[in-house]
Amino acid sequence: MFLIVGLGNPEKRYFKTYHNIGFLTVDKIASKLNAKFTKSYCNAEVAEIKILNEKILIAKPKTYMNLSGESVKAFKKKFNLKNSEILVIVDDVDLPFGTYRYRESGSAGTHNGMRSIVQNVGSDFKRVRIGIKPDVKPFNLADFVLSEIDEEQMSVLNEVIDDASDFIISLIGKE
């Protein structure tokens, strides 16, 4: 079994914000795999699919960003998952805009959603961080990550989301 978790905020008003890059990425992954978010458990919207006889869960926590770890912890307990079977997708204000980075473990960095997950399950889970670093340091980081992405930047981010989703899908067969 493998769990892919995209971080974001569940309200519609946050849909096209920087902090919802994780949700946008798991939506893209689900679309490419013809999986639908039809289930709800572990305080998340869930799409299920089998690949190479392995069950894959794709999740969007409904806990809001700063409590994402509660949902991941619930999945871990319900399905007896090891941290090596969990991959989290998150925006990263410290990573250059329009890039992504994969790591098998690490710190939470400055991200409160990642901090919640690390506090709830530890730090040895896979993660893909998608860069949203602005050209100029924002006056208020919370206002920036919750601001709507303009069309030009969304075009760039859609390409990186597409590339990252292909990369993540390629990992599934190797696990």
Q: Hey, what are 90's tokens?
A: 């998150």
CATH code for the domain of 162: 3.40.50.1470
User: What is the pTM (predicted TM-score) of this model?
Assistant: 0.94
pLDDT the model gives residue 88:
97
Cα(119)–Cα(117) distance, integer angstroms:
5
- Report the run of H or E that residue 120 belongs to, with start and end: helix 112-121
Q: Is 111 a catalytic residue?
A: no
Domain count, the chain: 1
pLDDT at 175 over 60: no
Q: Which domain holds residue 33?
A: 2-172
pLDDT the model gives residue 173:
64
The residue annotated as part of the active site, out of 19, 76, 126, 127, is 19
pLDDT the model gives residue 172:
84
pLDDT the model gives residue 27:
98
pLDDT at 174 over 70: no
